[in-house]
Chains A and B, each alone.
Chain A
Amino acid sequence: MHLWADLEELKLLEGKFSDIQIEKTENFTSITVKKEDLLNALGFLKEDLGYKMFIDLTAVDYYPQEPRFLCVYILFSPDKKKRIAVKCWAENDSVPSVISLWKGAKWAEREVYDLFGIKFEGHNNLVRMFLWEGYKYHPLRKDFPKEGIQEVYLPSLNLRPEEIPAHNYSPYHTYVPTMEELEKTQKSRMEKRSQIVLNWGPLHPGTHGTIWFLFDMEGETIKNCEIILGQLHRGIEKLAEDLTYTQIIPYTDRMDYISALCSQVAYVNTVEKLLGVEPPEKAKWIRTMMCELQRINSHLLWLGTYALDLGALTIFLYAFREREKIMDIIEGIAGIRLNSTYIRIGGLSKDLPEGALDVIKHFLQDFPEKLDEYETILTKNRIWLRRNLNIGIVNKEQVYQYGLTGVVARSAGVPYDIRMLQPTDAYDKVDFDIPLGRVGDCYDRYLIRMEEMRQSLRIIEQCVEKIEKLKDDKHISTENPYVLPTLDEVFNSIESMVKDFNLRIYGEQAPEGEIYMSGENPRGELGFYIVSKGDGKPYRIKIRSGAFYNLQIFPELIKGRTVADAVALLGSLDPVVGETDR
């Protein structure tokens, strides 16, 4: 099912604005407005039609066509539960900025400026998002090579002169910035107003990876805060434009490496919708089960690191002890503990091995008591309460303004959960509760995540029952022309070998068109906006990362609080840098 707005309400727009085109396909619904109408159109959608939640902003480069850049805004209406996409051609590479309508657009516009070089008129601080000041190029442009421009001679220090360690080793390298350039970047982000500017991160135990915080501090209170991202920007979106749809799956693991399976499922569902592939029943149930296992896994990591940041060192190791069990399950089923490339277009790479369900049942039995242990140590602990209560309160308005999703949105009482809005796989057949918070502080987010783990257990139980019934079904619908055959078929029939060759070499020839679909990650809505031009590789993939937008509210929430609160707040927002930076 899809969430796209229906035509008749779009007709309302037609009268208001001169030449706007409305295109509605099965996978995508968009209106294209002229540059000068953009703000009014978006304002009308926001105020009058109730599309007040900002989901995503991206751009597509139609080089060498002129104007080459097309900006795409995706909005959501919490009341109608509908999505709408607004397109606008960036004539002479600039469009008006929409931060007056949505604060959440601030970083998104900076990202587009960074990667495409589109100017946003009226943006208050249009600096690079991921790369450093003084970087010469705009990487996502079509005329920029994927490998970058190898301009400096930077050989490995461990090699004897003229040694070639591997056939694909080159001593030349892309430009690596100097410390001065990074300091320049930092200066351009924030100027010192109070006593000291504290560099929190990027390589700091407490910052969950490589986020770089700048705190302008008066004593220990933070007067002003700025976040520098891009310390893990690996260019996955650029890489994806050069890969077939199947080859992108491993990279989706490495975006949000803590919830790899959820990312795979979200991506594969999008591609399947685009190709019109229907996975078999069993695959759907197994996907749901693995997703929920992964969700528990991710929440456990959150619990561990969160407790560690707040000083409860032992909880960290208890949480990791349970993670090890889930890792064992995933390793036994998929083959790798962390970045398990298990989901395939049209099903799964392998069926469940024997004994998997027994292990999962055993886990279902003994995990609840472990959860209770965590709760006994933390939930009513006075220190825990004092560190969490009324810290970083998020309200509904901010949720819509910043496009907050996932647990952060639910803690503010907004029932925004893709599993409910747009159920994929088996989510429409299982019953579970979606916990909501009333206050929206760190303590609510803590309670919600704990509750979500229990709900995931419920879902897994139902999946296990169902899968036991479906024992002998196929796990992948290889009869579909887009789906890669399994190895046995390749070994035994020449037709499927040929099909395999074709799909591997030319990729899945997706029909021309676009699609935006998303899945509910532990970190929020993980959306994929895919533009296909009918060949085996996507023309453009935009990854809408939940953590990116959730993190954006951090500076506003932390003002006037202390560093200790920054730790708590960051932990409860729970970003993963691999996903924010892609």
Chain B
Amino acid sequence: MAVKHNNGIILTTVEEVLSWGRRNSLWPASVGLACCAIEMMHTAASRFDTDRLGIIFRGSPRQSDVLIVAGTVVNKVAPMLKLIYDQMPDPKWVIAMGGCSSAGGPFPTYATLQGVDRIIPVDVYVPGCPPTPQALLWGILELQKKIKAKKEGKVWEEIPVREVPTASQPIPIKEKSPLGF
């Protein structure tokens, strides 16, 4: 990037390094609410081992960076979810896993919160009921892209609307950078 002063360049490189560290050790707070929590566990289990990407689940929100809202959030639990989000230290991100947490899903009822993004800002929406572990992993990769692009603020202008994906092909190993994502 066109930075004139040397220190500017140094700064940017430092930022690069920090963002590399952050996106390669995302520790989610294990907030399992409903069906999606099972698939979240499966994502962490042996078949689709999130630990490969440096993602380990922490019990306490104080030590976690990303909040994966897995399952239906009902009105009654919403304030507590907000509390958990507030307890997390910055920088923090939120993944709304599944339709319920993204937009109320198939429960347009008196008791259900129609989308967790009404109480806390959401970075990535993962549709599915529940999303398969691969879908959730894809969502996490999307979040890593976002962190890489320094789209940390919830500024909507910066966020492009992704075009519709069609066939999904594996990323060949050679395209992978030696430093991870």
Contact = CB atoms under 8 A, between A and B. Distances in A.
Direct touching of A and B (C-beta under 8 Å): yes
A156 interface: yes
B109 A146 contact: yes
A155 interface: yes
A337 B77 contact: no
Contacts of B76: 130-132, 177, 182, 230-231, 233
6 contacts: A147-B109, A156-B118, A157-B121, A158-B154, A173-B113, A205-B30
Given A327-B42, A339-B130, A139 B34 contact: no
Contact of B129 (A177, A178, A316, A339): A339
B33 interface: yes
A232 B112 CA distance: 9
A317 B44 CA distance: 9
Contact of B79 (A144, A169, A177): A177
Nearest to A578: B34
Given A148-B109, A320-B41, A578-B34, A154 B84 contact: no
A159 interface: yes
Contact of B83 (A145, A179, A230, A239): A179
Interface in B103-156: 103, 106-115, 117-122, 129-130, 132, 154, 156
B77 to A, nearest CB: 5
A377 interface: no
Interface in B1-59: 30-35, 37-39, 41-42, 45-47, 59
A258 B38 contact: yes
A239 B112 CA distance: 12
B88 interface: no
A339 B79 contact: no
A147 B108 contact: yes
A176 B121 contact: no
Nearest to A308: B41
Contact of B119 (A139, A176, A337, A338): A176
Nearest to B96: A158
Given A175-B75, A250-B106, A321-B47, A257 B117 contact: no
A287 B96 CA distance: 34
Interface residues of B, number: 49
A148 B111 contact: yes
A301 interface: yes
B72 interface: yes
B107 A239 contact: yes
A235 B38 contact: no
A269 B86 CA distance: 47
B74 interface: yes
Interface string A145-174: 111110000111111100000100110011
Contacts of A338: 35, 38-39, 130
Nearest to B113: A176
Interface in A24-66: none
B93 to A, nearest CB: 13
* 3 shortest interchain CB distances as A-B pairs: A148-B110, A235-B109, A320-B45
B80 interface: yes
B46 A339 contact: no
Given A209-B32, A337-B132, A157 B120 contact: yes
Contacts of A130: 76, 111
Interface in A98-139: 130-132, 137, 139
Contacts of B121: 157-158
